[in-house]
Amino acid sequence: MTILKKTVFLIAIALFVASPGYAGNRCKDGKANQGAMWLSIAHPGLGEYSLKGWGPWENCPPKKFWLGFIPGYGWPGYLQVKSAIDASKCITNDDLTFTEQ
pLDDT digits (tens, 9 = 90+) for 15-74: 665 555 455 577 777 777 888 889 888 989 888 888 888 888 888 888 888 988 888 888
Is residue 57 in a domain?
A: yes
Is residue 93 in a domain?
A: no
Structural domains counted in the chain? 1
Residue 27 contacts residue 88 (beta carbons within 8 Å): no
Identify the domain containing residue 51 by its residue range. 3-88
Residue 8 contacts residue 15 (beta carbons within 8 Å): no
Is residue 95 in a domain?
A: no
Confidence bin at 100 (pLDDT 50/70/90): low
pLDDT at position 29 is 73
Nearby residues of 49 by Cβ (< 8 Å), 6 or more positions away = 39, 59, 60, 61, 65
